[in-house]
Amino acid sequence: MILVREVGVTALRFWVIRHGVIAASRGGKVKTVLQMLAIGLYILPAQLGWERSAVMAAAVAVTLVTGVDYVARALGLRRAARSRQSAAAASEPARPPVSSPPVSSPPVSSPPVSSSGEPGVGE
């Protein structure tokens, strides 16, 4: 369940990245701490039966809640971006296509010519 949430949140962030950024929430940080604590309790050789389960249950609960929060925030961000695009398109008058001016080559300069007609010799 936790892995599905993590992959889903990453996919959501990629889905809305061109519209804005979904910053990490405080709940996401609490989730990370609870997950690390739960894993640490499972690694310890001590007899911590119900404590391990309680911390893991809290980590799963916070994981699910923050996953739903990310979905809501991503949908809101997309909705806001679409309404901004619609408003911008409606308020902008239609413009005729812009044609580019013809391209001309730069003038070619010739070397100086003397009064005697020899090129390259100035007076």
**pLDDT 10s digits, 91-122:** 766 566 666 666 666 666 666 666 666 655 55
The pTM of this model reads: 0.62
> Are the C-beta atoms of 19 and 77 separated by less than 8 Å?
yes
Q: Which residue has the higher pLDDT, 17 or 110?
A: 17
Give the CB-side neighbour count of residue 48, counting CA atoms within 13 A: 16
| Domain assignment of residue 50, given as a range | 2-88
Domain count, the chain: 1
Q: Answer yes or no: is 32 within a domain.
A: yes
> Are the C-beta atoms of 73 and 22 separated by less than 8 Å?
yes
Q: Answer yes or no: is 49 within a domain.
A: yes
AA identity, residue 100: S
Q: Answer yes or no: is 62 within a domain.
A: yes
Q: Answer yes or no: is 27 within a domain.
A: yes
> Are the C-beta atoms of 22 and 70 separated by less than 8 Å?
yes
Looking at 17-106, list the stretches that DSSP marks H as alpha helix, in order from N- to C-terminal side: 26-43, 49-91
Q: Answer yes or no: is 98 within a domain.
A: no
Q: Answer yes or no: is 14 within a domain.
A: yes
In the predicted model, what is the mean pLDDT of the chain?
A: 81
Q: Answer yes or no: is 120 within a domain.
A: no
Q: Answer yes or no: is 76 within a domain.
A: yes
